[in-house]
Amino acid sequence: MMALAALTKSSGRGSASASEYEVSCVGGGSSNYSEECETDNVTALKFVELSETWKKDTEYLSKLSKKVMHPAYQRIIGMGRDAIPFILNDLKEDPADWFWALTAITGENPVAEASAGKVEEMAKAWLLWGRERGYGV
């Protein structure tokens, strides 16, 4: 089993700064556990910084196209599959416009047509997708 960084907000629900997150490693069993854990910690903190920048800068934008073209959002997409567990965790805590990024990274869209535009249902579909693939959300 690989090491996986887990993010925990130390200040409850809602938005938090990167300094308000605790990063811990779970898993293990690999001979490179320590190195994998350190890499995941860096990835987790990078995700938190980028996602908080994106949320702050796009808070008052209503056009999805402007939100998803924000440089921080694009950098999260650029993180590739490494970002998926963090996006799913964030989606569970605070359903936001992560659907575009998830589809871009995975090439999949588990959201039923009838659920399109219904944020809670869309989030549930992606969280189920994540659980089915072992992301532990």
Residue closest to 17 by CA, chosen among 45, 52, 42, 46: 52
Residue 14 resides in a domain: no
Residue 10 resides in a domain: no
- Tens of pLDDT along 43-92? 889 999 999 999 999 999 999 999 999 999 999 999 999 999 999 999 99
- Tens of pLDDT along 79-96? 999 999 999 999 998 888
Residue 70 resides in a domain: yes
- Tens of pLDDT along 106-132? 999 999 999 999 999 999 999 999 999
Q: What pLDDT is stored for residue 32 in this prediction?
A: 52
Counted domains in the chain: 1
Residue 113 resides in a domain: yes
Residue closest to 117 by CA, chosen among 99, 92, 101, 102: 99
**Its pTM surpasses 0.85:** no
Residue 23 resides in a domain: no
Residue 110 resides in a domain: yes
